[in-house]
Amino acid sequence: MPYDPILVQPMREELTSIGVQELRTGADVDEFMQGKTGTTMIVINSVCGCAAGQARPGVRLALQSDVKPDRVATVFAGQDVEATATLRGYFSQLPPSSPSLALFKDGQVVHFVPRHAIEGRDALSVANDLVAAFNKYCAKSTA
């Protein structure tokens, strides 16, 4: 059973307050994922401690980088069940993991950070890994 929405709201706002688009339904996910051109990062949010201590703060730090995805959205595992299931269908070759972070380029997953690569680390380490992925996949060509 999902947690009380009032208790979860601050966990949502930690991302939405910095401009991350929240996807609450399967239809929201499908509509968002239709934009396949460019780069997209999806954050699978969670109520767990590694989401609070490493994933969300790491995302906040990484998005301060000069190079970042064109679009960023989030679903909340265990809260927005339909949205999370629909999103996971876009990368069903990867095992379910929350929290986790998926970076898409032109509609294809190019980088994935599962829970085991988040927990036990600090937010700055998670952010640095994301920034390295942004630099690799999101940098605009000057040629």
Write out the catalytic residue numbers. Answer: 48, 50
Residue position matching structure tokens 């339909």: 82
Residue 36 has phi, psi (to 5 degrees) of -95, -5
Q: Which are the contacts of 111, defined by CB distance < 8 A and separation ≥ 6?
A: 102, 103, 133, 136, 137
Could you give the dihedral angle defined by the CA atoms of residues 46, 47, 50 and 54, in that order, rounded to the nearest 10 degrees? 70
Name 40's bridge partners. Answer: 71, 104
Instruction: Give start and end residues of each alpha helix (H) in the chain.
Output: 5-16, 26-33, 49-50, 56-62, 81-88, 123-137
